[in-house]
Amino acid sequence: MPFLSSLHNNIFSIELQRNDTLFCPPSVLWTSDGLEKDLHIQSNLVTVLAMDGRRRWLDIKKLGSNGRGHFVFVTNLAPCSGVRIHLWPEKHRSSIENEVPASKRIVEVTSKMVHIPAGPAPKQVEPGSQTEQPPPSAFLLLSPEDMNGYNFMTISVASRQTISGRPPPAASMAVGQFFNPVEGTSALSVGRIVHSSYSPEEIFLKEDHPMALTLSFSVSLGLLPVLLSLRTTGCGIKNIGDQIEADKNNLCKLRCFPPVALAWDSVSGIHIIPNIYSETVVVDSSPATWDSHQGAEKTTVLVLADPHCSYKVSLRASLGAATSRFFLLYSSEILGFMIAITLFGLMRQSLAWECDSSVPSILSAIETNLKPKPLMFLCFTPILLFLAFLFFTTQQNPRFGTFLFVTVVCYIVANGFTILVTLSSKLILYVAAILHVFAKRRWQSWEDGAHSPLVRQFLAFSFSFQSLKMIKNNTNIAVAFATITLVCFVHPAIGLGLLLLSHSFHAHSALCSFLGASFRNIAQKKDLYKSKMDNNPILQSKSKPDGLEQLLPMDDSPTAAKSFTDSQLEVFDCRHGIMILHLLATLMFVPSLIAWIQRIGVGQ
């Protein structure tokens, strides 16, 4: 199968770069084994349970017939020093290459074994007692092309060195098999993977199954992680009496090695998961981006399971992990869409301002952009640009379907987040403004009622500091100068944060003026209604000024195009939109700010 060969070749190239050699070191010497110590394997499955110092012969032509042309070998023995594998044109008594004629030279493939991470070996309770099978630490995969021209294969196992006074080490393990990769291949489409989120996909492996189970996912596991679990259902032991499931599992652990999974992705490479009984398989890949090519949307998982046992393989798509991975991979794209959505909303506000019409709120502008006609323009223009890019470039790029799906989902999520941020900030500003206006009104009412000269002198002294709140003249110039200084010489997030605070203050001031004017208008209407009911002129507002009238200008006139209330509301809507834009821009630099702070902390 092409995948198995490419997978092993890629892993082997990594191991070759790490070890920088193709052969076992010459310092590791073995004595010649005689035929009286050899074992001749007659089945397609070979098992090594101890370091017995024997050599096992396998007939490639005989055992590799009926489509079983691939060979896989899994072991926890150390390559070269613990186990060696050779390919022979014909049988020979000696395994030393110098003693073999040149026309019958053997080839050692031990160094092609790939090391895999393995957990600690199980400890023995008593000396000489049986232990659980240790996890494999290396595997070898040979294709028919690798064994072409050779008739025999030998698996030589070193003898164990015994040390008196100490218990023997844990049981050694090695399992090899000639298999047909088609029998252990399962292709999973996107529909089956999504359906598995509430109805798991189940695959049953009977005893003497292919050791290498290939699971081909049509969607990248970097985007849609899958919970892979293997449960042992049998290991050739018949149920005796009322044997409970726990005892059966313990017996199977004594016979079968723990499964190993190898997830392969063209972008992230190989990801090895040892002892995989229940694990969420995730690869570090991000499909549907500009720098990803066509193979990035697929992931293949190779599961190495002991053929002595039968398994129940369950696959379930993890929606929680998929959601977190989606936001982790495409958070920058979503944030970019949010900034674009806010800019289009500000564009509609500017257009209304230029036309002297009512300026909509940023939320109304975003809602207008979600109508069918603007949505078609904003959503499908990037897609048309992507198609043009595919037409004029020769580079490998993501598939159009994957790109379209991810782009539309990111745009929808960005609209939702923008609306959520807008509503949340508007609610916070309204609550703060209402509390501010209410507190200001109560404070001024209490100030008018204070007749003590000492209290009046204290209040006059405290209000003398109100001019220091903001620089009344050239406020925007001062904020711009401070922002540019912080952005250029400190950090962009700090400068944008200062600009965000400035816009928040202006939006808060405009909203307080709007609410104050609204409350004043309501109070005047109530006074007018009472005067009409009592048939008396309204003199109360002129005789005793209200606390709000001291804050708000009385510039409402019948000839004005817009009232003071409407003008302040429009100013608030514009300031609120600019505040949302700078909030999103600040969030873009938050990860850089955190790294900058950590770097400063490490430097100190």
Q: What percentage of residues in the chain have a pLDDT greater than 70?
A: 70
Evaluate whether 561 touches 319 at the Cβ level (below 8 Å): no
Which of 135, 142, 215 shows the shortest CA–CA distance to 177? 142
SS3 263: strand
For residue 53, the surrounding DSSP H or E stretch is none
pLDDT for 593? 87
Of 307 and 369, the structure prediction assigns the larger pLDDT to 307
Residue 171 to residue 252: CA distance in whole angstroms: 15
Segment 263-278 shows an average pLDDT of: 81
Q: Which of 261, 241, 242 is nearest to 311 (CA)?
A: 261
What are the angstrom distances between the C-alpha of 221 and each of 36, 409, 504, 518?
51, 18, 42, 56
Decide the pairing of beta strands 269-273 and 70-75: unpaired
Angle between helices 492-534 and 400-449 (to 10 degrees): 50
- pLDDT surpasses 60 at 539: no
Q: Which residue has the higher pLDDT, 142 or 128?
A: 142
Count of C-beta atoms within a 10 Å radius of residue 584: 23
pLDDT for position 424: 93
DSSP annotation string for 512-533: HHHHHHHHHHHHHHHHHHHHHH
DSSP one-letter code for 200: -
Phi, psi of 346 (to 5 degrees): -65, -30
Q: In whole angstroms, what is the distance from residue 364 CA to residue 358 CA?
A: 12
Q: pLDDT band at residue 80, thresholds of 50, 70 and 90?
A: confident
Confidence of residue 128 (pLDDT cuts 50, 70, 90): low
Phi, psi for residue 430 in degrees, rounded to 5: -65, -40
Local confidence band at 64 (pLDDT 50, 70, 90 cut-offs): confident
pLDDT in tens, 454-506: 555 655 554 444 444 444 455 778 888 888 888 888 888 898 889 889 888 88
Looking at residue 40, what is its pLDDT? 86
Angle made by CA atoms 585, 588, 590, in degrees to the nearest 5: 115
pLDDT at position 419: 93
Q: Is the pLDDT of residue 202 over 50?
A: yes
pLDDT score for 16: 45
In whole angstroms, what is the distance from residue 322 CA to residue 330 CA?
A: 12
Residue 458, phi-psi category: left (phi > 0), alpha (psi -120 to 50), beta (remainder): alpha
Return the minimum-mean-pLDDT range out of 39-48, 135-144, 536-545, 556-565: 536-545
Q: Residues 210, 183: contact at Cβ < 8 Å?
A: yes
**Residue 141 pLDDT > 80, yes or no?**
yes
Alpha-carbon span 31 to 321, nearest angstrom: 53
CA dist 259 and 275 (Å) reads 5
Specify the range with the lowest mean pLDDT, choosing from 210-224, 283-297, 403-417, 525-539. 525-539
Tell which wins on pLDDT, 74 or 474. 74
Question: Which pair of tokens denotes residue 398?
Answer: 């993501």
- CB atoms near residue 149 (< 10 Å): 10
What are the residue ranges spanned by the domains of the chain? 1-21+34-92+102-161+169-179, 182-238+245-317, 324-527+563-602
How sure is the predictor about 126, in pLDDT bands with cuts at 50, 70 and 90? low
Helices vs. strands in the chain: H and E counts, helices first: 14, 19
Q: Which residues contact 181 (CB under 8 A, 6 or more apart)?
A: 1, 4, 70, 210, 212, 214
Do residues 56 and 49 lie in contact, with contact meaning Cβ atoms separated by under 8 Å? no
Residues 198-211 as b or e (16 or more Cβ within 10 Å = b): eeebebebeebbbb
**351: which 2 tokens?**
């257009």
CA atoms within 13 A on the CB side of 224: 23
- Low-confidence winner among 30-39, 106-115, 141-150 (lowest mean pLDDT): 30-39
pLDDT higher than 90, residue 421: yes
DSSP designation for 111: G
Residue 102 has pLDDT above 50, yes or no: no
CA 561 to chain centre: 54
State pLDDT tens for residues 231-257: 888 877 666 555 566 666 777 777 788
How confident is residue 426, by pLDDT bands cut at 50, 70 and 90? Answer: very high
* pLDDT at residue 550, as a whole number: 46
Computed from CA positions of residues 448, 452, 458, 461, in that sequence, does the dihedral angle turn out positive or negative?
Answer: positive
DSSP string, 125-164: SSTT---PPPPP-EEEEE-TTTTTT--EEEEEEPBPPP-T
pLDDT above 80 for 546: no
Query: Taking 80 as the threshold, does the pLDDT of residue 604 lie above it?
Result: no
Give the per-residue pLDDT at 20.
47
- Name the 3-class secondary structure at 71: strand
pLDDT of residue 101: 55
Q: Are 577 and 349 in contact (CB under 8 A)?
A: yes
Joined together, the tokens standing for residue 267 give 């972008």
C-alpha to C-alpha distance for 572 and 509, rounded to whole angstroms: 8
Give dist(CA 515, CA 510) in Å, integer: 9
Instruction: Give yes or no for residue 288 having a pLDDT over 70.
Output: no
Angle ∠(582,586,592) on CA atoms, nearest 5: 160
pLDDT of residue 465: 43
Contact at 8 Å (CB) between 335 and 319? no
Q: How confident is the model at residue 579 (pLDDT cuts 50, 70, 90)?
A: very high
Q: Evaluate whether 349 touches 422 at the Cβ level (below 8 Å).
A: no
Residue 425 clears pLDDT 90, i.e. is over it = yes
How many C-beta atoms lie closer than 10 Å to residue 435's C-beta?
A: 11
Element housing 368 (H / E): helix 362-369
Query: What integer is the mean pLDDT of 520-547?
Result: 60
- Give residue 295's pLDDT band: very low, low, confident or very high (50, 70, 90): low
What is the predicted pLDDT for the residue at 119? 61
Query: What is the C-alpha separation between 332 and 211, in angstroms, rounded?
Result: 42
pLDDT tens string 453-465: 655 565 555 444 4
Task: Answer with the residue of higher pLDDT: 12 or 340.
Answer: 340
Residue whose structure tokens are 């290991």: 235
Residues 305-319: what's their mean pLDDT?
89
Average pLDDT estimate for 162-177: 63
Q: Which residue has the higher pLDDT, 399 or 62?
A: 62
Rounded to whole angstroms, how far apart are CA atoms 4 and 72?
10
Q: In terms of DSSP bridges, do strands 185-188 and 212-217 run parallel, antiparallel, or are they unpaired? A: parallel
Coil/strand/helix, residue 92: coil
| Average pLDDT of every residue of the chain | 76
pLDDT at 597 over 60: yes
> Beta partners for 302?
214, 262
Looking at domain 182-238+245-317, does it have CATH number 2.60.120? yes
Q: What is the mean pLDDT of residues 411-418?
A: 90
